[in-house]
Structure 1
């Protein structure tokens, strides 16, 4: 009988070895170093990781932001490419879909004819890029959606005591989570590869989740073609929002004094 024990032990050792090899792929268990091949931020405290992520975001030239935000009791789906000199993309609400484009200080808005209300001009404005004067209330409402740092400042805030969470993946990229108030105050996933950019933000209170990708990647940012643009000068026709109906009304952004912060 004892002659079989060494063989059994060898089989068990072989099984454990295979198991550990599989676990090592995910960076856990069996003595594998979960920080091997990473940028090392996973070894830091939760507060330090958050600081690193905010610093990386603050120094970036561009980002692709997509996901859902809840603002003023309304849900908005965003798909925006943002840079230091402007941004472009789409914002959807339950009532409308808006195409936004900002080049420098010039903001263009494309929406359905219904958004522009019952004015005589509504039919001409539908599905055209409307040049928005800075003096118009619509400019302040929508500029924040195209302002990279105003948007990120509002998004990347965690509320409560921070704790380091699990290692995870956001798409193909390994990340470490930072949670606030045991997740109730939000969750931030920070890249463990390369620059420690924030990759995903799950906002407190179910106020939305956004993914942040393509950090530092250039994207085209040009004014729309002239035949696709309508310019009404210093004042736009009355919109549904000015009549109290459907356009988003984010609260003022902090710090910039120029735009809206749709993240509050």
Structure 2
């Protein structure tokens, strides 16, 4: 065995110390450190109990900010929503359009540009053509194009009886979104210690990640922080748990009420 001088041993110790510090900053444990030191302790629990505590924390929260991508029936939506029990506000994007939603109680508002309404009009026309078994969608009228221009960048009050109401409201319902997004499938196992932003977290996986991957906060209340949905159905981050925010109705001059149904264009 080759002996090392004291200076060499000190340099090696300093190098290992720097390496451990770097790994700790990156969220990786090792070098003899206790990964649960200074945490809320959920990392010591079984995967099932961690998942249960995360769900309970989410259910008991008054509000949350949800952002990321969600794939529904092969269509990808990008969400950035602030949600609470009695309302929500935020933006939803898809390949074809971008729109804002605002809900106060059961009153739902939709704001989009003229291009959104033009696309909406075309879908309505194509649906009507399909119902009539016609090979071509009817051409839009000048009135429809004018309506799209008038609706652009206005808050449109969505009638509760309209077919779009339930679908659009789903983007603003905190409980519906959380129940639908936070589900893991298959056998649950504890995954790696990680970080979501600056917050330390522990992962829980379903079927070794194929059934989803949930990151749960190791600081304070064990809130869900990131959900990677099974089957590549999107990744969402959850933040600002329990932080209050105000919701105000749009100014009357910026609002359009179309009665019992949305216009076709």
The TM-score bracket by the shorter chain reads 0.7 to 0.9
Q: What SS does the corresponding residue of 1:234 show, helix, strand or coil?
A: coil
Q: Counterpart in 1 of 2:6?
A: 7
- Structure 2 residue 74 is the aligned partner of structure 1 residue 73: yes
Query: Is the Cα contact below 8 Å between 1:24 and 1:30 reproduced in 2?
Result: no
CA distance in 1, matches of 2:55, 2:115: 39
Match of 1:188 among 192, 211, 214: 214
Match of 1:157 among 179, 183, 186: 183
Which consecutive residues of structure 2, in runs of 5 or more, have no partner in the other structure?
122-139
| Aligned-residue RMSD, C-alpha | 2.2
Matches within 5 A, 1:26-175: 26=27, 28-116=29-117, 117=121, 118=140, 119=144, 121-175=147-201
Alpha-carbon distance change, 130 to 27 in structure 1, aligned in 2, over 3 angstroms: same
Query: Is the Cα contact below 8 Å between 2:29 and 2:193 reproduced in 1?
Result: no
Quote the offset at 1:123 in angstroms. 2.3
Alpha-carbon distance change, 189 to 5 in structure 1, aligned in 2, over 3 angstroms: closer
CA distance in 2, matches of 1:20, 1:236: 61
Query: Is the Cα contact below 8 Å between 2:28 and 2:194 reproduced in 1?
Result: no
Superposed CA offset, 1:115-139 (max 9, x none): 3324253222111100011111111
Worse overlay, 26-35 or 91-100: 26-35
Q: What SS does the corresponding residue of 1:48 show, helix, strand or coil?
A: helix
Which consecutive residues of structure 1, in runs of 5 or more, have no partner in the other structure?
240-264
The number of residue pairs the alignment matches comes to 238
TM-score by length of 2: 0.83
Q: Counterpart in 1 of 2:126?
A: none
TM-score by length of 1: 0.84
